[in-house]
Structures are given as C-alpha cells and as structure tokens.
Amino acid sequence: MSSTGGTTDGTAFSAPKVRGELLRHKQGRDDMDFNAEALRALLQAQNRINAATDLTEKLTAVADGVVATGIFRRALIQVYGTAPLGHLIGGAGLTADEIQWIATHGHGPKYYRDLTARGQELTPGAFFISHTAVSADEMAAMLASHHEAGDFTEWHPDDMFLVLLDSTTADSVGNLTCDDPTNGKVPGAAEAEVIRLFASEAANLLEMELLRRSDGLTGLGNDLWVAEAFARLDKNGAPFSLMYLLIKDLDNVHQRLGRRFRDEVVKSMGRILRQAVPREAWCARLHGDEFVVVVDDPEPARTEYIRQHLVRELSRWNDVERLAALSAAGLHESLMHDPMSAIQLSVGSASRWDKDSAHDVLARAEKAARKPPTNGP
C-alpha cells in the first residue's frame, strides 16, 4: 500500500499492531482520549468484516467503524466505477438518498488525486481538503495556503477529509472520505492517523478482491474479472466498444523458443496494454493468447485510436524489449532475427448500441480478429 500506509508486508492490521500504533500516537497527547474507543471500533469492524458475505457489506462495516470512533459523524468508502470491482459504496451516517446520489454522480480517480495536490497532508496519505481547495482559482489557492498556516481551525460544511485507497495491482481504486467532525474542528495528526488505520483496512480488503481477479502472469484482469464486468455491462445496458486481441502463433513460439520466452511475450503484452489503454478503459487476459479491452465510448473512432496507439507500443517492444525477453528466457541474442521472437497481433473490434449481450459483442470482435488481415496488424 502506498497512500493508505498499511503494514509493510501488505497484510491487514492486527489488533496488537493497531493498539501499538494508537498508543504511539497518544504519547505526549494526554488530551487525546479517543484511543480506546478507536481500538474498540476497529476490532468491532473487523468482527463485522469477518461475518459479512460481500464486499459492500465489508466496506460498510469499515465506514461504521470510522463513525464509531467518535471523530466524524459521517464516513463514505467508494470504489471507482473504472476499477475492476465496479462502483461500490459503503457509507455510515448518510441517508439512502445521499448514497444513491453519490452512486450516480460520483467522481473518478483523477478528481480525487487532484484534490490531494491542493489539500493539506495531516499524516502520510491522509488529507484535509478545505472547501476553498475544490476551486482552482488563485483566491482559493491563497485561502488554502492560509489554512496550512493555521489561520482556520473550524470545520466548514464543505470541507473534506480524504484518504486514497491504492493497490499494487491498480492505481487509485477508491477512497475514504469523512465529514462533520463531532467537535466541529479540523482534525489533527492523531485523529487523522486513526482514520488512516481504517482506510488501510479498506485498502487491504480491496487488494485481496483485486488479486482474486488478477491474472498472475500479466497483472491484468482474469476470467473472473471479465465474467463480472460482462454481467455489469449486461445489467446497465449502456453502449460500449470492445477489442479482442490475439497473439498469433503463440503455440509455435512456445515450441520453437520455449515456455520461458512465451511467458515473457505474454508479460510484455500485459505491460503494453497497461501503457496503451487509457484509464477510462479496462483490459484483461481471457486465455493464454487472448486479451480483451473494453471502452465505455462506443464510437469506432475511439477504439481505432486506441488500436493505433497499441500498435505503436507493440513496435517499440519489437525494437527495444525483445532482446531483454530473450535474455530473461536464457536464449541467445542471435534469435532477435527469428520471426517467432516478435509479437504478431491480430485485433478485432465491435460496439454495442442496442440489446446485444457483452458476450455477443466479444464474439463479433473475435470473428473480426480471426479473419485473414488485409493490411497492418
């Protein structure tokens, strides 16, 4: 974990570790009497997490734990719609109408990442976002800097406490936000550290779910990820575009150059897709030599732009990284000239505008990819 400050081994905080962390922050702060309540709240949240049957329930248990500390009256954990898990929300102290509004009007990762750049970091990874910082004009920036100097201590209704939830398998996949502090004051570092512990708990939950949906060789989504994503696409009925990508002759590559080199080709394909595919799209590995990219925009021009960018990245691999892949596989550099050492890719695309299922769209894209190419990849 990066922004959330979890344990160094990536595991969830255990009760002894949490107790030590809280006591460490209590040293020299005799007026901070919420440590016992915070520890009790986290332990209760962990018990509810263990009993929960789905991820939304688990995130709600964490949000309830934040409120139970007595620091804030309202807490919200959201997973961005662009993340592999889909848009998920767990809230405490919010009305059903508020949660529904957030579900339909929520912002994406860039919005919240930009907010942290204009906020005040109270403790590593935990930010106070002044109501002035949501605007990018010069006056707002000046007011925000005044807050950092200690001019403002009272909480404004439009202020925000924010912790990004990062992952090793994706960038920022969600966040924890809080508002309405019980004492009406901007939180200090000790309070922020307590909330950060809950954010670490949420981030660890997301990390475990993401790992279940990640391909071990490429780090892209796996078949479980695709099945769930297709189910969401079929449920919401929104238009989208899809690209089906096939690495040509991968079995022959395996037979000629060995399994290790074949795996290097597949791993390189994963890196290329992560570099070439924009954040609003997602990509996964279907099977050994098959990949899929889904774009929310159904316009063929958008898909073609991504395809061309992918081809450029692919040619760069053929020029630059092929030798490294051969070396990693223990093969001689003379094989650079073997046609089998280059990635040859076939791409087909299709869009959904009407009532087709996601699998129908995939079938059309696969059919297009497997046709004999007229030119280009």
CATH of the domain at 142: 3.30.450.40
> Would 217 be classed as within a structural domain?
no
Question: DSSP string covering 56-91, please?
Answer: HHHHHHHHHHHHHTTSEEEEEEEE-TTSTT-SEEEE
Domain span holding position 297: 223-369
Measured CA to CA, the distance from residue 128 to residue 147 in angstroms comes to 10
If asked whether residues 62 and 140 sit together in one domain, one would say yes
If asked whether residues 98 and 164 sit together in one domain, one would say yes
If asked whether residues 158 and 281 sit together in one domain, one would say no
Which H or E run contains 233? helix 223-236
Greatest CA separation found in the chain?
75
If asked whether residues 240 and 345 sit together in one domain, one would say yes
Split into its structural domains, the chain has a count of 2
pLDDT of residue 65: 93
If asked whether residues 121 and 247 sit together in one domain, one would say no
Q: Final residue of a domain: which of 212, 232, 250?
A: 212
If asked whether residues 179 and 280 sit together in one domain, one would say no
Spatial CB neighbours of 13, under 8 Å, sequence gap ≥ 6: 6, 7, 21, 42, 197, 200, 201, 204
- Angle between helix axes 189-212 and 35-51 (nearest 10 degrees) is 10
Question: DSSP string covering 283-300, please?
Answer: EEE-SSSEEEEEES---H
> Would 275 be classed as within a structural domain?
yes
pLDDT of residue 275: 78
If asked whether residues 171 and 245 sit together in one domain, one would say no
Q: Final residue of a domain: which of 189, 212, 235?
A: 212
If asked whether residues 192 and 83 sit together in one domain, one would say yes
Pick the closest to residue 218 from 166, 280, 290, 165 (CA basis). 290
Measured CA to CA, the distance from residue 204 to residue 126 in angstroms comes to 16
Query: Distances from the Cα of 290 to the Cαs of 214, 223, 270, 345, in angstroms?
Result: 15, 11, 11, 10
> Would 104 be classed as within a structural domain?
yes
* CB 361 within 8 Å of CB 242: yes
If asked whether residues 170 and 47 sit together in one domain, one would say yes
Q: For the chain, 377 residues long, give each residue's pLDDT as a single digit of tens.
A: 333 443 333 334 444 444 444 444 444 344 445 567 777 887 888 888 888 888 899 999 999 999 999 999 999 999 886 656 778 889 999 988 888 888 877 787 888 988 999 899 999 999 999 988 765 544 444 444 444 444 568 999 989 999 999 876 556 689 999 999 999 999 999 899 999 989 999 999 988 888 888 898 888 889 988 998 898 888 888 888 899 998 887 877 777 777 887 888 888 888 888 877 876 678 899 988 899 998 877 777 877 888 888 878 777 666 666 666 766 767 666 666 665 566 777 888 888 877 789 999 999 999 998 887 555 55
> Would 186 be classed as within a structural domain?
yes
pLDDT of residue 133: 76
Tokens 């960018």 belong to which residue? 309
pLDDT of residue 339: 59
> Would 10 be classed as within a structural domain?
no
If asked whether residues 208 and 298 sit together in one domain, one would say no
If asked whether residues 27 and 164 sit together in one domain, one would say yes
If asked whether residues 194 and 65 sit together in one domain, one would say yes
Q: Final residue of a domain: which of 146, 180, 212?
A: 212
- Please list the residues that pair with 347 across neighbouring strands: 245
CATH of the domain at 270: 3.30.70.270
> Would 361 be classed as within a structural domain?
yes
> Would 265 be classed as within a structural domain?
yes
> Would 7 be classed as within a structural domain?
no
pLDDT of residue 153: 85
Measured CA to CA, the distance from residue 52 to residue 328 in angstroms comes to 44
Measured CA to CA, the distance from residue 49 to residue 58 in angstroms comes to 5
